Structure 1
Amino acid sequence: MLFPWMKHNNLNWHQTIAQFMMSRRALWLLLAIMTGFVLITHQAVPMLDRDEARFSQASRQMAETGDVITIRFLDELRAKKPAGIYWLQASSAALFGIDDVASYRLPSLIGFLATLTLTYFFTQSLFPSPAAPLHGVLAGLMLASGPLLQAEALLAKTDSLLLATILCQQIMLWRIYRDSDLKSPASHWGAFWIALSASILLKGPIGPLVSFVTIAGLCALDRNISWLMQLCWGRGLLIVGIITLPWALAVTIATDGAFLKTAISADFLAKVQSGQESHGAPFGTYFLLMFLMFFPASAFLCFVPLLGKSLLTDKASKFCLVWLVGYWFVIECVPTKLPHYILPLLPALALLTSLALTRSLPVAGRKLARLIDAGYIVAALSGTLLCGVLFWVAIKYGGITGGRAFVSVLLIFMLAALILWHLWLWRAGRKIGDLVVILCAGAVLHFMAIGGVIAHLDSVHIAPHISRSIDQLEKKPSLIALAGYHEPSAVFEIGRDVLLLTADEAALFLAEAKDALVIIEERALPDFQKIADELALRLQEVARVDGFNHSRGQDVSLRFFQVIR
């Protein structure tokens, strides 16, 4: 029997939930349910532009060519991220199919599950007490119930796995800091540097940045740097060099230094110095974004100040606080603002929030009580905004599958109402059952948002329509070119042999390869037809796909042309 203690009728449902949450079975149940949720979205949601499609296409080319050093998107050098994520995605694709979108998403699922598991066990080390299991499950559930981590578990990108490696290094850093009066065992400092190296191979400086701001904050608050010797810097940096330098040297040689030069100057420094790709936003953006990206757990953020002086006097609380505040301040100062940048601070936020909710706290004074109520209101408004956006996109971009998206939105509204109702009950009685219902409903809500709404935005998912239209052509093309519409998801759907051309080049291409197909965006059509007329090409429009390009925020109409022989 999974819940043997449910036979005790003298327990009310709040106590029943509390008892179950105190057992490790709660963690296994959470992992099993979230695995099912994520696997469903892996199959349901088509490839998304642009980052996911670029990662997947580059990984597919790595699996096809066997070149594990140089990362390319078609023939273009992709000097955005180190090779770690491409190795993992290419390996997954080689095992489960290079043409299956879900194959490239599996490493993100592994990172997601590792994050939840590590968060659970991190609490045992940070806050050892009889309530630690409950604390750990709540922290994991807070992470799983939010939209950001669920979205990253879906996407074939670096961030889900990066978060797992950051948690590994932070766990080891905490143990070294906690036992600063003792000689640090090799298993602690060695694991720290290995996890740091893995994070570098996944996303360059982000992992080291998290640990650096944590170390700097602890040293500043404690006015003590002697414990840093326990990190064994000489041997640690040697480990980092052994793990990361072979690939860095190999790619430098293979590209004559172009990869690292482009990665540092055109990617990293461009984001630090200015808002890259129109993603600039003012200081404070992430503070507000946390209420949306951490919903519904964001309703409880304002309980953290109730921890009071222990936030600075208790070692574990102080560790989480400097991790949270230090990293948050740095990313707020960076001009480029993207939602997933806040991901590395979410575990610290979940750990502190769940600690505040599971510890006996003093009664809040009038000012803190108002602050807590303000947190409820902001979180409720964030959830309402999220539901409103989902309703709008389901209506506007649902297309022929809009009915499914609309039904999912109705279920989402019901879940949101359940969350708000139990939030009201929680405010009145602070019962554990209401808290768990809120978080579980949040997890289901965001699963429905991804697998029910986003998956069925027919007008947004243009690439599958392109692929189906090509398959339905009577005259199968030997070559395919895209003009005016170069989205990576279309490249992934069509395959590596697709050409990305201008309108003029597309007309010349058809003149040379008359059994080919050109897919041209309507805005580029006049230039294309002008050259085609000059070349006396007899064109036939064989298909058309209309949709919405969410990357550019504009409607698109794709016209398919072949030459009449």
Structure 2
Amino acid sequence: MKTGKYLPIFLFFAAFFLYTAGIRYNPIYILDESKNVECAREMFTRNDLIVPTFNDRLRTDKPPLHYYFMMAAFKVFGVNEFAARFFSAIMGALTLLITFLFTRKYAGEKTALLTWLILITSLNFSIEFHLAVPDPYLIFFMTLTHWAFFEFYQKRTWPWLITMYVSLALAILAKGPVALGFAGLNGLLFLILKRDFRWQTIKQFRLLLGVVVTGIIAIPWYVKVGLATNGEWTRQFFFKHNLDRFSSEMEGHGGFFLLTAVFVLLAFLPYTVFLFQSYREAFRQRKSNDLILFAMIVSVVIIVFFSISSTQLPNYPMPAYPFVAVLIGYYLSNVKLKMKGPLWINLGVGLLIPIGAFVAMKLDKSLVPVANLAWLFLVIPAGAAWALYDFYKQRSQQRIFTALSAGWIMAGLLFFLVAFPAVNRQNPVQKALTVMDTSRPVAFYGRFNPAFAFALKKHIPEMKTPEEVSTFFQKHPNGYLISITKVQDELKSLPLKEIVHQKDLFENKTTQVYQWVK
């Protein structure tokens, strides 16, 4: 199945096109994205490479790698949504590209193309690479670390050893010690199951060199930020955002043991119907196929780890997804398939998606005006119906899978270019910006939506008591106060006029904006 030497270039730009769709025009709003982008903006404004802050307060959630990439993009494209998300899309396209290249090398072009198709079809994966958050960077550098390990094990070439340690260091700078844990455990299990956990093999990995290379790249920033914050960033990040996040539920993101598995099942639609069979086939092939053994180990370890974590989020198991896709792609290209049942299941699921989305949006008062956008997702069952038509016409599996994926990819484009922008316009920050003069002073009481910080591009001081609110308005009678309904009773004694009252999208609080009644 030869398709030409320019195929990898085409695949890269096809993924990049999908992952950049709409990133310029969708305002920064989602909670994590808002905090990460504003943190990068503040560091960029101060020309500070060490101390991350949000609204001029120390932010201890994440290491700095994604901030650095965003700051570089701000330098080139200006401080805007496109710049903040640009390198996330690059990381996504590169993740798909290297997964295609290594899979093609060790499993053939047919398997590699199916693997790429499975990944680009994943709407969940696509959403992640649209966001200015650290996960796209972790996913890419962890994927590269694992592929470099596998390539070095197969070929024993020094460039791949150095690549492995450099990418591991960057993964540590992306999200912390979890990268080191996964790389070490997955490599160890692979050698054990290969029955090659011998000193002769281990010493070829030059572990001392790895410590030096990884340490030179990753450690200096951790030391500098610890010194600059008197150890506060270090304590908060390693204990609260790593140990506590694993051992206890944080920010309401808990769930039952199988929740991570549910995330994986949803992420791989429409190919979820082949997931169990793919792992069964991988288990059968584990002794004769190094690639399949390695992909199985990496994917299972990451998914199981986050399954036992007390805090669970859809993005957590994503570093496993390239390797899950390899297993599905290998199964689809090497095993005689029974297609009829899976295709009918996909048609049924595809029909449920727009119906479910419509009902969910109708139940949320803030989304009722845009609920009809849910019917855009009818392209998903349309793709499944097309695939069924090809099946009954006895056309090739390649055409069937292309049709199946086309519906989901088109749904992704419609989501990013049409549906999400319309939904995003219902968020309280965008509503507020239409009635606020952003040149005036702004303060907050209680809590405020983090998206205000990047939208206003300035510090928003906190008023801790009603008396401080009164003092603020005495100094700035034309100013604004941002708050939430949960604390509105505390402000009843003040002569305030509510000019915005809007439920926060995807959150359980309601934003208010006040002016002073003169």
Per the normalisation by structure 1, the TM-score is 0.84
Change (3 A) 1:327 1:47: same
Deviation readout 1:156-193 (Å, 9 max, x if unpaired): 011112211112111111012224xxxx3321211110
Q: Quick one: which of 169, 178, 187 aligns to 2:145? A: 169
Change (3 A) 1:216 1:550: farther
Rounded to whole Å, the distance in 2 between the matches of 1:277 and 1:380 is 36
Change (3 A) 1:258 1:445: same
Aligned to 2:429: 463
Rounded to whole Å, the distance in 2 between the matches of 1:45 and 1:201 is 27
Aligned to 2:384: 419
Give SS of 1:471's match. Answer: coil
Rounded to whole Å, the distance in 2 between the matches of 1:70 and 1:308 is 46
Aligned to 1:311: 286
Q: Are the counterparts in 1 of residues 15 and 92 from structure 2 also a CA contact under 8 Å?
A: no
- List alignment gaps of at least 5 residues for structure 1: 1-18, 533-538
Q: Are the counterparts in 2 of residues 27 and 137 from structure 1 also a CA contact under 8 Å?
A: no
Aligned to 1:353: 328
Q: Are the counterparts in 1 of residues 33 and 133 from structure 2 also a CA contact under 8 Å?
A: yes
Deviation readout 1:211-241 (Å, 9 max, x if unpaired): 2232232133223312222211001100111
Deviation readout 1:432-486 (Å, 9 max, x if unpaired): 10111112221121232333222211564221222221139xxx63x11122441
Rounded to whole Å, the distance in 1 between the matches of 2:311 and 2:207 is 32
Give SS of 2:89's match. Answer: helix
Rounded to whole Å, the distance in 1 between the matches of 2:511 and 2:84 is 29
Q: Quick one: which of 53, 57, 77 aligns to 1:72? A: 53
Q: Quick one: which of 203, 206, 214 aligns to 1:232? A: 206
Q: Are the counterparts in 2 of residues 281 and 335 from structure 1 also a CA contact under 8 Å?
A: yes
Q: Are the counterparts in 1 of residues 63 and 175 from structure 2 also a CA contact under 8 Å?
A: yes
Change (3 A) 1:411 1:24: farther
Q: Are the counterparts in 1 of residues 355 and 374 from structure 2 also a CA contact under 8 Å?
A: no
Change (3 A) 1:302 1:379: farther
Aligned to 2:310: 335
Q: Are the counterparts in 2 of residues 397 and 457 from structure 1 also a CA contact under 8 Å?
A: no
Rounded to whole Å, the distance in 2 between the matches of 1:426 and 1:308 is 29
- List alignment gaps of at least 5 residues for structure 2: none
Aligned to 2:503: 548
Rounded to whole Å, the distance in 2 between the matches of 1:212 and 1:51 is 28
Give SS of 2:23's match. Answer: helix
Aligned to 2:224: 250
The answer on 1:109 being equivalent to 2:74 is no
Displacement of 1:36 in angstroms is 3.0
Displacement of 1:23 in angstroms is 3.7
For 1:181-220, list aligned pairs within 5 A. 184-220=156-192
The answer on 1:516 being equivalent to 2:482 is no
Displacement of 1:133 in angstroms is 2.3
Displacement of 1:399 in angstroms is 6.1
Displacement of 1:546 in angstroms is 3.3
The answer on 1:147 being equivalent to 2:123 is yes
Per the normalisation by structure 2, the TM-score is 0.91
Change (3 A) 1:218 1:196: same
Give SS of 2:499's match. Answer: strand
Identity value in percent = 18
Displacement of 1:354 in angstroms is 0.8
Change (3 A) 1:426 1:303: farther
The answer on 1:387 being equivalent to 2:354 is yes
Rounded to whole Å, the distance in 1 between the matches of 2:258 and 2:242 is 21
Q: Are the counterparts in 2 of residues 298 and 379 from structure 1 also a CA contact under 8 Å?
A: no
Rounded to whole Å, the distance in 2 between the matches of 1:126 and 1:209 is 26
Displacement of 1:503 in angstroms is 5.7
Rounded to whole Å, the distance in 1 between the matches of 2:5 and 2:366 is 44
Q: Are the counterparts in 1 of residues 448 and 483 from structure 2 also a CA contact under 8 Å?
A: no
Displacement of 1:96 in angstroms is 1.1
Aligned to 1:34: 15
Aligned to 2:451: 489
Rounded to whole Å, the distance in 2 between the matches of 1:312 and 1:460 is 54
Change (3 A) 1:414 1:124: closer
RMSD: 2.7
Q: Are the counterparts in 1 of residues 366 and 503 from structure 2 also a CA contact under 8 Å?
A: no
Displacement of 1:377 in angstroms is 7.1
Give SS of 1:547's match. Answer: strand
Rounded to whole Å, the distance in 1 between the matches of 2:367 and 2:253 is 32
Structure possessing the higher radius of gyration over alpha carbons: 1
